[in-house]
């Protein structure tokens, strides 16, 4: 199922069967998290370079923990302490890490396409941990796993995504994934964040600025983080946002009674989500975290665990590498 590529760069190009394979392979790792002894030796001797050019706490810790529990070592590059601050180019940084002979890369970068760019220049598997406004594939996979577990199936749900859609790679990956499984997707937020172009991304995607309309009949509600610095792009005060778009218990009642509430984190309580919704019985935010670990373990097992191909990587051509 993952035979076609040794990388995980995006959801868009994956087939339904490939996605289901990854979710199925995460299941043994979900059970593994309940073991008293959470340490395998499966990837012993392997090392994974965690190259986070953009700051990240949860995704980095999740990948680092996933690698550690499989027995792999990690080498970690973090944006705050990165030599990028000193002006080193992306390619030079990657080559430096590559010279330490990692068996795979996990890449987080502020530029769309960064993970694919690196995948063309290294011989080992690359996992995209979020690239600009493009995709965050492991987030969509862990969301799908959470939906399938909590609601019994992945197909044909009404899914509402609330917030800053245009800047969100989480939204894009989720739209790609869920629309492959017949979802009807409603995108909702201030109109500057929810351009109509999204309706062309997949069948059955619609945009609205009215939260009441967006929530009616929803089976799954995904709340995105609101970055307050972006609220000023066209002016909208946090108070206005709360008033018009916060997911409150009253608004959640417009959705189906058993609707599931997801949030990729970090969650700003009292801004995009009311604390009683975040902690309520419909919320699965902590399951998302545990499932993220399981999905990332499954991906590392299948991608990093595989023996390196003895032939040189066909896409690799350093003479054409541009910074």
Stretch that binds other proteins, among 89-97, 198-206, 214-222, 298-306 (CB under 8 A): 298-306
Query: Which residues inside 124-153 make contact with other proteins, applying CB under 8 A?
Result: none
**Shortest gap between Cβ of 106 and other proteins (angstroms)?**
18
Among 17, 36, 99, 319, binds other proteins (CB under 8 A): 36
Under the binding rule (CB under 8 A), the answer on residue 200 touching other proteins is: no
Under the binding rule (CB under 8 A), the answer on residue 301 touching other proteins is: yes
CB 172 within 8 A of CB 135: yes
CB 90 within 8 A of CB 117: yes
Round to whole Å and give the CA distance between 54 and 134.
Answer: 14
Round to whole Å and give the CA distance between 163 and 153.
Answer: 25
Under the binding rule (CB under 8 A), the answer on residue 227 touching other proteins is: no
Under the binding rule (CB under 8 A), the answer on residue 15 touching other proteins is: no
CB 230 within 8 A of CB 199: no
How far lies 300's CA from each of 9, 67, 92, 306, in Å? 13, 7, 25, 9
**Shortest gap between Cβ of 291 and other proteins (angstroms)?**
15
Round to whole Å and give the CA distance between 105 and 121.
Answer: 11
Among 13, 15, 16, 28, binds other proteins (CB under 8 A): 28
**Shortest gap between Cβ of 292 and other proteins (angstroms)?**
18
Among 9, 25, 102, 223, binds other proteins (CB under 8 A): 25
**Residue 85: HSE in the Cβ half-sphere, 13 Å Cα cutoff:** 9
CB 58 within 8 A of CB 265: yes
Among 17, 37, 100, 311, binds other proteins (CB under 8 A): 37
- Our CB check for other proteins shows the closer of 28 and 182 to be 28
**Residue 282: HSE in the Cβ half-sphere, 13 Å Cα cutoff:** 23
How far lies 210's CA from each of 214, 224, 238, 266, 269, in Å? 6, 16, 17, 24, 21
Under the binding rule (CB under 8 A), the answer on residue 27 touching other proteins is: yes
Under the binding rule (CB under 8 A), the answer on residue 280 touching other proteins is: no
Under the binding rule (CB under 8 A), the answer on residue 312 touching other proteins is: no
Under the binding rule (CB under 8 A), the answer on residue 35 touching other proteins is: yes
**Tokens coding 3:** 């035979």
# binding residues, other proteins (CB under 8 A): 23
Among 184, 263, 296, 302, binds other proteins (CB under 8 A): 302
Under the binding rule (CB under 8 A), the answer on residue 313 touching other proteins is: no
Single out the residue of 188, 112, 107, 181 nearest to residue 141, CA to CA: 181
Among 13, 15, 16, 39, binds other proteins (CB under 8 A): 39
The footprint of other proteins (CB under 8 A) covers: 2-3, 25, 27-29, 31-32, 35-42, 46, 298, 301-302, 305-307
């Amino acid at each position: 199922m993952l035979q076609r590529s040794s990388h995980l760069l995006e959801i868009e190009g994956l087939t339904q069967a490939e996605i289901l394979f990854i979710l199925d392979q995460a299941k043994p790792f979900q059970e593994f998290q309940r073991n008293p002894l959470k340490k395998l030796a499966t990837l012993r001797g392997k090392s994974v370079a965690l190259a986070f050019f953009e700051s990240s706490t949860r995704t980095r810790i999740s990948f680092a923990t996933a690698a550690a529990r499989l027995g792999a070592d990690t080498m970690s590059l973090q944006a705050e302490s990165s030599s990028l601050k000193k002006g080193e180019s992306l390619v030079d940084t990657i080559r430096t890490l590559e010279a330490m002979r990692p068996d795979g890369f996990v890449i987080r970068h502020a530029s769309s396409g960064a993970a694919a760019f690196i995948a063309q220049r290294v011989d080992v598997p690359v996992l995209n941990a979020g690239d600009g406004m493009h995709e965050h594939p492991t987030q969509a996979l862990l969301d799908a796993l959470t939906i399938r577990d909590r609601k019994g199936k992945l197909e044909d749900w009404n899914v509402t995504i609330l917030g800053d859609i245009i800047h969100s790679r989480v939204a894009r990956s989720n739209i790609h994934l869920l629309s492959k499984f017949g979802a009807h997707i409603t995108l909702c937020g201030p109109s500057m964040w929810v351009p109509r172009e999204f309706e062309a991304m997949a069948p059955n995607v619609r945009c609205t600025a009215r939260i009441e309309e967006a929530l009616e009949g929803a089976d799954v509600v995904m709340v995105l983080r609101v970055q307050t610095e972006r609220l000023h792009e066209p002016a909208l005060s946090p108070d206005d946002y709360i008033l018009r778009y916060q997911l409150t218990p009253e608004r959640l009642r417009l959705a189906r009674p058993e609707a599931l509430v997801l949030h990729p984190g970090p969650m700003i309580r009292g801004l995009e989500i009311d604390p009683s919704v975040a902690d309520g019985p419909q919320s699965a935010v902590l399951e998302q975290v545990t499932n993220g670990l399981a999905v990332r373990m499954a991906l590392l097992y299948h991608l990093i665990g595989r023996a390196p191909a003895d032939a040189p990587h066909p896409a690799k051509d350093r003479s054409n590498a541009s910074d």
